Amino acid sequence: MAFDIGLVTLVLGVAAWTIGARETFAAVVGFVAYGLLLALVWVRLAAPDVAMTEAALGSGLTGGLLLGASTRLARTDGPAAIEKPSAIMRLAAAVLCTLVSAGLAALVLLMLEPAPTLAPRAMANIAATGLSNPVTAVLMAYRAIDTLLETVVLLLALVGVWSLARDRVWGGLPGPYHRADPHGLLTFTAQILVPIGILIGIYIFWVGSVAPGGEFQGATVLAAMWIIASMAGLVDAPPVTRRWLRLALIAGPALFFAIGLAGFAIAGGFLAYPESHAKLLILMIEVPVTLSIATTLALLVAGPPERAPAR
């Protein structure tokens, strides 16, 4: 309990720093720390799957994205040039937000203990899914439709990001150019780290059916490895019009849809799996989904096409 109190104090302190810091860059650094601390909190809440996602995606990839943005936008007008809301507005907002916090806190204290839960149901049916990690069972079987729609959400976010390209660079390479320095330290690190990271990513994905892990966590690690390699200039993103790239992007959701629709024929319903083959079918979905999510995440961080295609 003493550990928990310390952790909560730290989380709140870092969160306040993130909101209050004068420099945007400092605030982003605070946010990354906030994410890592939250990952610890998730471990304390007996949710290791979420802890991994929080650390990899919520803190790591989001943090990287925001860090990149804050340095890119660093040359903008200082905070002084921006109209600050008046003191009365700030006071009103502070009162409102305090009320929200107080209300939520009261609700937390009123919360039923034990809370209503679906854990027994999830466990009672888990044999039919062929999985033994209940979180993966929820993601891939009980609520597979959410996961399917979510892969589409990611894809659409990427289409949205790409839509922000300038017309003349459409068909070009995403993101800024990173010069390769064959003797640079980053190159050295990338050469060592990336193969290990890819291995870890695949392991995390693979172990997801029986232990904490899964396609989102694995895909995030894979995406991060690609980002490191591209920062070191070892790889570059392909032009956004490449057919194989587009195929890699939709392979996951498309196969998810296809197997879902096949469920009409083989299991009597959309996204239903016949019990004997459930595990195999889920794996057949997960492999391309991991690939597609990893590609999408990496390209979301890279940003819209910025460099005209080489002729």
Partner 1 sequence: MPGSATAGGFLLVLAIVLPVAGAMLSLVLGGRYAERIALTVMPTGVVVAVAIGAIVWRTHNVLQYFVGKWDPPLGVAFRADGLSATMIVTAALLICGIGLFARAQFSLPRCVEERAPLVFWILLLTVWGALNAVFIGCDLFNLYVALELLTFAAVPLVSLDGRAETLTAALRYLLFALFGSILYLLGAVLLYGAYGTLDMVLLSGRIRAEPAAWAAISLMTSGLLAKAALYPLHLWLPPAHAGAPSPASAVLSGLVVKAPFFLVVRLWFDVMPRLPEHAVAQVLGGLGAAAIIFGSLVALRQVRLKLLIAYSTVAQIGYLFLMFPLAVKPETGHPWSTAAWTGGVLQAISHAFAKAAMFMVAGLIAEALGHDRIAGLAGVSRVLPITVFAFALGGLSLMGLPPSGGFVAKAMLLTAAVAAGQWWWAVVVLTGGLLAGGYVFLVLVRALADASEPLNLLSTISPGRQAVVAVLALAAVLLGFVPLRPFELLQIGRPDIAIGGLR
Partner 2 sequence: MSSALDVLTILSVSTGAFFFLAGTVGLLRFPDALSRLHALTKADNLGLGLVVLGLLFQAEGFPVALKLVGVWLLALLAGATVTQLIAHIARMRGSTM
Partner 3 sequence: MTEGTLYGLCSAVLVGLGLFGLIMHPEPLRKILAFNLVGGGVFLLFGVVARKGAAAGLGGDPVPQALVITGLVVAFAATALAVALLARLFQETGRATLQADE
Using the rule CB under 8 A, is 192 a contact of partner 2? yes
Using the rule CB under 8 A, is 241 a contact of partner 2? no
Q: What is the amino acid identity at position 233?
A: G
Query: Which of 213, 237, 241 lies closest to 297 in space, CA to CA?
Result: 237
Q: Minimum distance between the CB of residue 203 and partner 2, rounded to whole angstroms?
A: 11
Interface segment toward partner 1; rule CB under 8 A; list 12-20, 31-39, 64-72, 105-113: 105-113
Please report, as residue ranges, which positions from 187 to 246 form the binding site for partner 3 (by CB under 8 A): 214, 216
Using the rule CB under 8 A, is 104 a contact of partner 1? yes
Q: Minimum distance between the CB of residue 131 and partner 1, rounded to whole angstroms?
A: 14
Kindly report each contact of residues 9-18 with a partner whose C-beta sits within 8 Å and lies 24 or more positions away, as own/partner.
Answer: 10/37, 11/37, 11/38, 11/41
Using the rule CB under 8 A, is 97 a contact of partner 2? no
Q: What is the amino acid identity at position 99?
A: L
Cβ(292)–Cβ(147) under 8 Å? no
The only residue of 74, 145, 192, 266 in contact with partner 1, by rule CB under 8 A: 145
Using the rule CB under 8 A, is 132 a contact of partner 3? no
225 or 278: CB nearest partner 1? 278
Binding mask 162-191 for partner 2 (x = CB under 8 A): -----------------------xx-xx--
Distances (CA, A) of 258 to 5, 243, 271, 280, 281: 48, 20, 9, 15, 11
Which residue spans within 23-179 are E strands per DSSP?
173-174
Residue 273 site contact among partner 3, partner 2, partner 1, none (CB < 5 to 8 Å, cut-off depends on kind): partner 1
Q: Minimum distance between the CB of residue 167 and partner 2, rounded to whole angstroms?
A: 35
Cβ(137)–Cβ(126) under 8 Å? yes
Residue 145 site contact among partner 3, partner 2, partner 1, none (CB < 5 to 8 Å, cut-off depends on kind): partner 1
Cβ(150)–Cβ(282) under 8 Å? no
Query: Which of 178, 197, 196, 181 lies closest to 235 in space, CA to CA?
Result: 178
Please report, as residue ranges, which positions from 256 to 275 form the binding site for partner 3 (by CB under 8 A): none
Interface segment toward partner 1; rule CB under 8 A; list 42-50, 78-86, 205-213, 271-279: 271-279
The DSSP 8-state label assigned to residue 173 in this structure reads E
Distances (CA, A) of 192 to 32, 172, 179, 185, 195: 24, 29, 19, 11, 6
The only residue of 45, 92, 99, 196 in contact with partner 2, by rule CB under 8 A: 196
CA distance 229 to 224: 9
196 or 261: CB nearest partner 1? 261
Residue 141 site contact among partner 1, partner 3, partner 2, none (CB < 5 to 8 Å, cut-off depends on kind): partner 1
CA distance 268 to 275: 12
Cβ(58)–Cβ(42) under 8 Å? no
Residues binding partner 2 (CB under 8 A): 185-186, 188-189, 192-193, 196
